[in-house]
Amino acid sequence: MAVVGNGHFMFDEMLHWFDIDPTEGFLVLDGVQFDPLQANPSLHTVILQTYSQVIAGDLKLQLMDIYPDDFPVTVARAVGIPGEERLERVALYELDRLSWIDYLTVVYLPKTTDERATHRQFSKLVEIVRVLRSPDGCPWDREQTHQSIRKNVLEEAYEVAEAIDLNDPDGLREELGDLLLQVALHGQMAAESGAFSVYDAIQSINDKLIRRHPHVFGGKQAEDAEAAVVNWEEIKRQERIAKGLPEERSLLESVSANMPAMSVAYKLQALAADAGFEWEDVAGVYDKLEEELNELREAEDETEELGDVLFVLVNLARFLLVDPEEALAKTNQKFRRRFAYIEKMLSDQGKTFSDTSLEEMDTWWNEAKKIEKP
């Protein structure tokens, strides 16, 4: 049993009224200081200090992040006080509509296997992944290793980014779930080998966030974002020393080579620019771009020279305060839309690409441009 908050009531009477078997475990929480992270739908839950409709309203909204809106809730008043006892069962969304709520009110939520509640818990995801990896689980899931699903992590992260670019909240919700699955899978694999568990990973990031934000969780001050970054970098330096790593390292060492090449180029250039290795103005970037284009026209090794052109274009993006990945992503989306228009026109006319001329497709492409930019 976990007890949070204060409250004066008779446990025996409460257990009897709500028909709770204490051996099944139950939570006693505080309605005034309720935190949704404390809730656990798999346990009987009693919430004390729900002593007004205002508190009941706040509690309802927080509980609806965990339980379905129509989840059955029992509200009891004056438990164990003969003659003043009152009990009523309502749907969760009706919790704050009871006019008789006062300082003697207790709210009870029974433990449940309702998937609308249990499937909102991270622990349920961990359980499902554990089953999938078990001897009686899925043959495909059992065969996977960190390396075999490495690409899945990258793909899911890109799909999250795409949902963000498309301003698609429903898509973002789904893609974040897919990315979270990758976290749970790698955590389970690590647990099976005895390396660590997914909860170790959670502790690691929680510890790091608190440690690197002393201006929030400690005594340091950070008046603005720049000061916060200074704190962050100093703490990272101290962490390296604590791990026995060299205090000084290459300025560019922090940039992971496994990121998309354009992102790597952007970060490398930004770090070099911070150190003073930078053009004085954007005119120098345009001159360098023209130089690299001329070298590409005459190049024997076109791959290397094209890489140089792309690198300068990333530099140009920095000077224009444009994220090159974002810019190219938007252009990719624009190309998809306009090409889809060509495909629609082909379909409307009963044609295929093989019996359509480039000139006709160009006409439709320009029509698509006019539609987008009237």
The pLDDT tens digits for 325-347 are: 889 988 998 999 999 999 999 99
What is the pLDDT at residue 10? 62
Confidence of residue 206 (pLDDT cuts 50, 70, 90): very high
* Tokens coding 364: 């439709």
What is the pLDDT at residue 228? 78
Are the beta carbons of 73 and 108 closer than 8 angstroms? yes
Residue 17 has pLDDT above 90, yes or no: no
- Beta-carbon neighbour count of residue 116 at 10 Å? 14
pLDDT digits (tens, 9 = 90+) for 174-195: 999 999 999 999 999 999 999 9
Are the beta carbons of 102 and 75 closer than 8 angstroms? no
Confidence of residue 1 (pLDDT cuts 50, 70, 90): very low
What is the pLDDT at residue 6? 38
CATH for 122-211, options being 3.40.630.30, 1.10.10.10, 1.10.287.1080, 1.20.1370.20: 1.10.287.1080
Mean pLDDT of 44-64: 94
pLDDT digits (tens, 9 = 90+) for 60-114: 999 999 999 999 999 999 888 888 889 999 999 999 999 999 999 999 999 999 9
pTM, 2 dp:
0.71
Distant-in-sequence contacts of 362-367, Cβ < 8 A, 24+ apart: 365/338, 365/339, 365/341, 367/341
CA–CA dist 76, 108 (Å, integer): 8
Task: Choose between 63 and 373: higher pLDDT.
Answer: 63
pLDDT digits (tens, 9 = 90+) for 262-311: 989 999 999 899 888 999 999 999 999 999 999 999 998 999 999 999 99
Mean pLDDT of 195-201: 96
Among 107, 14, 133, smallest CA distance to 53 is for 107
CA–CA dist 267, 254 (Å, integer): 9
Task: Give the angle 19-102-57 at the CA atoms, nearest 5°.
Answer: 85
CA–CA dist 145, 60 (Å, integer): 43
Q: Which CATH superfamily is domain 261-322 in?
A: MazG-like (1.10.287.1080)
Using DSSP bridges, classify how beta strands 26-30 and 44-48 pair: parallel, antiparallel or unpaired.
parallel
CATH of domain 2-118: 3.30.950.10
CA–CA dist 236, 366 (Å, integer): 52
* Tokens coding 66: 């965990």
CA dist 174 → 117, 162, 164, 169 (Å): 17, 12, 12, 9
Q: pLDDT > 70: what percent of the chain?
A: 95
CA–CA dist 365, 371 (Å, integer): 10
What is the pLDDT at residue 25? 83
